[in-house]
Amino acid sequence: MAEARPFSALGRRANLTDLADTELDVLVIGGGITGAGVALQATQRGYRVGLVEARDFAAGTSSRSSKLVHGGIRYLGQGELGLVHEALQERRRLIELFPALVAPIPFLMPIPRRLDQATTLMAGFWTYDLLSLGSGFPRHRRVSVATARQMAPALQRSDIRGAWKYWDAQTDDARLTVEVVRRAAAAGALVANYATLTRAERLGDRWRVDVRDEASGHSLTVTSRFLVNAGGVWTEQIEGLTGRRATTHIRPSKGVHISFASSSLPIETALIFPVGDGRVLFAVPWHGHVVVGTTDNDYEGDIVSPVCTPEEEADLLRAVNRFFDLDLHADTVLSRWAGVRPLVTTAKSGSNKVSTKDLSRKPLIELDLAGLLTVTGGKLTTFWRMAEAALQLLPKPRFLDAVVDSSAPATAPVSAPRPRADGDAVELPGEAGYTVGDVRQACEDGMAMELEDALSRRLRLSFVDVAAAAAAAPAAARVMAELLGWTDSGPHVDRFHRHLHREFAGPLPASLVEA
């Protein structure tokens, strides 16, 4: 395999050239967290690995989660004890592997005055503690109303008897995904975003895969012993490109979130609170803001650019006002977004009658006789374990005498501090705290190819404050134009505004409305 090269547009071009010239052992289709985990662990074990992603890394579900690495306390009510136990144990491992991106965070669950409700919830927390044994997290404990309000000043309602404090973990989902891909590349994987699978065919003992470079429009052919379908909600479509009828069945489930300024919803710790019908919402401090979500509903719409509808946004806002006894107006919502979960289901009659919130989050990991390895479903929290389970189905690399320990050196951060350039300290417009240097790093050490890659997924501006992202776009575009050779940054800024309008309900500039 090629030596590690810059994780940038320059490195991407070199990777695509090598992909056409290298006989791979494993080609991963999909640059979300699942595909990233498989690529990193496969590379560490000595396989010759490639990864292609049709859009940007984490452009789909892996940038649109609740930003939590958690057991999923709500799944206890579904009897998913094994799934919860697995996820609780995985929290510690991800903290150890990615300490800069995954960290413990305290949660509060307000205690209702009704004794039967309080007793049921208390039993759930003791079960959560039991399943968490050995993970290094402290047990839950009860705190007074006064202590709860110190931790979450917005919690002023009078009908609670204190709160339970427990621990889970938080991450930046898109940054975690990009970091995993970066480490895979540093270990020797040939990775490229904006590289679309157009056709795959099994010829003898190899897959012949046609890939289109979306940046240049050119096509290339890649050969690999095994093909990994890590396409998430696109799993069925990818399977269809192999020329066979899809046997994997994905039932998309939509979840929406909204973002507030921390001054609008002042909390210093995360909260989980009920909203009726057995549903709960999270309110989580994140990047100086507070994110509230998520929902869990059947979805049959656009999986490329799902949106939080005005009705869904209003529903979340009403839930926040009702629970916290506030009177927040629509203009306090700074951003909103939707994501689509790839829930695995069966084709049996009646399987679609089960509510998506009651469907299992267990993954599908399956290797067929043609060498197509499907890895889909599951949770962000269990991506590393899913990759381990998937690779156990493959034969060991033929050219190695031993398997590389998948927890050793390559799991260390690979990006060294980059020398600062003149002007890097200049802050971007929009008062979000990001700088010109942050945009430069997104390109030079994050393979950002478009403004949305930098501002939505490397810096996360679009997810917390749409107006700030729009204000930062022209300055960010000038930096990227210099680095990526754009002759005119205007079309890129226009394209970014359309991205904000389409996926975050941001306003369109008048010039684009007229166009």
Residue 214 lies in a domain: yes
Q: How confident is the model at residue 358 (pLDDT cuts 50, 70, 90)?
A: low
What confidence tens digit (pLDDT) does each residue in 66-93 have? 999 998 887 777 777 888 889 999 999 9
On whether both 160 and 259 belong to a single domain, the answer is: yes
What confidence tens digit (pLDDT) does each residue in 243-288 have? 888 788 899 999 999 999 999 999 999 999 988 777 889 999 999 9
Between the alpha carbon of residue 209 and those of residues 184, 206, 248, 299, 492, the distances in Å are: 21, 9, 20, 30, 30
On whether both 144 and 268 belong to a single domain, the answer is: yes
Residue 349 lies in a domain: no
Question: pTM of the predicted model, to two decimals?
Answer: 0.93
What confidence tens digit (pLDDT) does each residue in 502-514 have? 999 988 887 777 6
Nearby residues of 399 by Cβ (< 8 Å), 6 or more positions away? 46
User: Distance between CA 279 and CA 273 in Å, rounded?
Assistant: 9
Position 263, amino acid? S
What confidence tens digit (pLDDT) does each residue in 404-459 have? 454 444 444 545 556 667 788 999 988 778 999 999 999 999 999 999 999 999 99
Domain count, the chain: 3
Q: Which carries the bigger pLDDT value, residue 356 or residue 202?
A: 202
On whether both 366 and 338 belong to a single domain, the answer is: no
Domain span at residue 454 reads 436-514
On whether both 265 and 327 belong to a single domain, the answer is: yes
Residue 99 lies in a domain: no
The CATH number given to whatever domain includes residue 270 is: 3.30.9.10
**Average pLDDT of the chain to the nearest whole number:** 90
**What is the DSSP track for 172-197?**
-HHHHHHHHHHHHHHTT-EEESSEEE
User: Distance between CA 467 and CA 432 in Å, rounded?
Assistant: 10
On whether both 179 and 46 belong to a single domain, the answer is: yes
CA dihedral over 186, 189, 192, 193, signed as positive or negative: negative
Q: How confident is the model at residue 361 (pLDDT cuts 50, 70, 90)?
A: confident
Residue 139 lies in a domain: yes
Beta bridge partners of 487: none
On whether both 151 and 271 belong to a single domain, the answer is: yes
Residue 92 lies in a domain: no
> Could you tell me if 489 and 451 are in contact, meaning their C-beta atoms sit under 8 angstroms apart?
no
Predicted local confidence at residue 401, as pLDDT: 43
Residue 71 lies in a domain: no
What confidence tens digit (pLDDT) does each residue in 134-144 have? 888 999 999 99
The CATH number given to whatever domain includes residue 380 is: 3.50.50.60
On whether both 319 and 453 belong to a single domain, the answer is: no
Residue 241 lies in a domain: yes
